[in-house]
Amino acid sequence: MARLWSLIEHTRAVQQLRQSEAEFRQLANAMPQIVWVSNADGSLEFINDRWTEYTGLTLEQSRDRTLMEQLIPREDNQQLSANFVQAQETRSPYQSQFRLIRPDGSYVYFLTRAIPILDDRGQVRKWCGTSTDITELKQLEDELRQKNAILSVINESAPTPIFVKDRQGRIIFANPATLEVFGKSAAQVIGYRDCDLYPSSEDAARVMENDRRIMESGQMEVVEESPDGIRTFLGMKVPYRNEAGEVIGLIGISNDISDRVQTERDRERILQQEQAAREAAENANRIKDEFLAVLSHELRSPLNPILGWSKLLQTRKLDEAKTALALATIERNAKLQSELIEDLLDVSRILQGKLSLNPCPINLVPIIQAGLETVRLAAESKFIQIETHLDAEVGQVSGDAARLQQVVWNLLSNAVKFTPKGGRVEIGLNRTEDYAQITVRDTGKGIDPNFLPHVFDHFRQEDGATTRKFGGLGLGLAIVRHLVELHGGTVQAESLGEGKGATFTVRLPLMPIQPAVNLDSSSSESSFDLNGVQVLVIDDEKDSREFVAFVLEQAGAEVMTATSAGEGFAALTQFKPNVLLSDIGMPDMDGYMLIQQIRALSPEQGGNVIAIALTAYAGDFNQQQALQAGFQHHLAKPIEPNELIKTIAALIERNSHD
């Protein structure tokens, strides 16, 4: 009887175990993550259906290490193994990230977490873990990194102080203009409060009281503050909120108004000026908000077709015609983004007074013809007729050919953009007294008389609403005015009103003594090849690194690549390249630190190698910093392949003559 009872108990336990195992499998297969169980040595004992959905492999197939090595990149596999070995030794939970190669060749990013199941002696009996798909999070991180790069360029180049403080009043961000006001380095400012930085405790207390009031009220304010008791700044301060809407600090933008305050000591006039400044600041804030909204729209819009077509191309299901359409669309939108960023950089240079010219005698006819070729396709797509009236005998002006072509292109692009289908654009060149006059006239949208005085202002658009019909940042005409004035000329806009077209007239002073003019502007462009040239490419971004290597190899160069500055430095002494191409922003050691270490080497070790900084940090400050660090040239991403090859060839030729 006892044996029978024992048999019944054993049978019941087996049934309960089977039921528990079935319930576990049902629960595991219902989870959105990959769930797995392995033996102590890591061999799989169970894996849920999510794994098969991602890989198409069964449990038995997944035990094949050869198949697994094909699914997970080698470097990821090595990291997983290292983490697992360490966890085995410590008998502790571990986590690791890895990429999974799907059947279509695309990557899926996973975060895997595992815990050990110990026996009565404390030894690992099994491992139980989950792997969560974090691909979307990775994509969001990449997008955030791109946005931060753009904001970094804007913050670094802004001439006005911009700063951020936490709720306790500690400065957690300060742009170069803010550091210049304090006359201190970032290490001497970040983490400190105003009472630690201001010479006068009274001035510091006044500023800190302003900050406290703004953070408690949650409202934006424009306040006058003095950091040294001498200069006075008009600051616009707004509450800094977290995702929950809680105020966690404030953001400030300041303008130096010391001169105005010095000449307006009378209290009544100071109050009047303060009111005017408030209204101007509110208007500037509105314009800024509109501009930032437009900027966000214009920078993000091209990303939609770029990312969309890129994903479709990865499916490899597009026919030849659709593939060509996809590539053309991606290229067009990438160029559009590049042009938008160049406009922003040009405006930054203008605001800082750093935009310069390379003048020489210029015949305007080829300049205008080149501008026409640039917009011809856009005009033809809208069936717009372009009429030209160019007087070849006008004479020459002293100017920068590239910048004058930018003026013509901006005016023609503006005319084509605002002219409806079937319209007409006219461009003329003639002489009026001692000036060459360029006239661009269209039959398009026209300009509202109220907006006409502001048509050349920075960051101003006639229509900044989300329902506007025409894209763009509204910077082109502001750049035109500045470039024309740099050439000693004038530009004006005329329009009879909305729907009645617009006319833009540029007048440039003619050279008093006209050199002989060669009207044959045709020239044969030299071809460059890099046969026999050894190039070392260093970039932590895989896509950028592979693209540059491919371009150089197509030009005949022998290319070696490195994924970090440390790896590149080690490769330099072995590879002995003729040219070094290096990114600037890299982890652990950036491009500036790398070139400084290289320049410390002897010539025999490669210390004199030709070095080019190839980076997305495109501002004038970044260019000067690269040259001062030891690079011979600075190229901003995105690059044109021909420009890269021509630059390398020119540097090699120049180096051979030195």
Measured between alpha carbons, how far is 202 from 12 in angstroms, rounded to an integer?
83
Residue 253, exposed/middle/buried by CB under 10 A (0-12, 13-18, 19+)? buried
pLDDT in tens, 484-519: 888 899 999 999 888 889 999 999 999 886 554 444
Fold match between domain 22-133 and domain 534-657: no
- Cα 570–575–580 angle (5° rounding)? 80
Span 22-133: which CATH code? 3.30.450.20
Measured between alpha carbons, how far is 252 from 231 in angstroms, rounded to an integer?
17
Specify which of 121-130, 148-157, 369-378 reaches the highest per-range mean pLDDT: 121-130
pLDDT reported for residue 345: 65
| Domain at 147-285, CATH homologous superfamily | PAS domain (3.30.450.20)
Sheet holding 107-118, edge to edge: 44-47, 34-39, 124-133, 107-118, 94-101
pTM of the predicted structure, to 2 decimals: 0.37
pLDDT reported for residue 464: 43
The full set of domain ranges for the chain reads 22-133, 147-285, 303-352, 360-509, 534-657
Q: Of 227, 216, 236, nearest to 279 (Cα)?
A: 236
| pLDDT, mean of residues 405-428 | 89
Topology, domain 534-657: Rossmann fold (3.40.50)
pLDDT in tens, 440-470: 999 988 888 888 888 887 655 554 443 334 3
Q: Would the CA dihedral through 396, 398, 402, 404 be positive or negative? A: negative
pLDDT reported for residue 265: 58
Q: Which two tokens stand for residue 370?
A: 């080149």
pLDDT reported for residue 639: 78
Measured between alpha carbons, how far is 36 from 43 in angstroms, rounded to an integer?
10
Q: Which two tokens stand for residue 252?
A: 């400030």
Architecture label for domain 360-509: 2-Layer Sandwich (3.30)
If one counts every other C-beta atom within 10 angstroms of the C-beta of residue 545, the result is 20
3-state secondary structure of 573: helix
| pLDDT, mean of residues 128-149 | 86
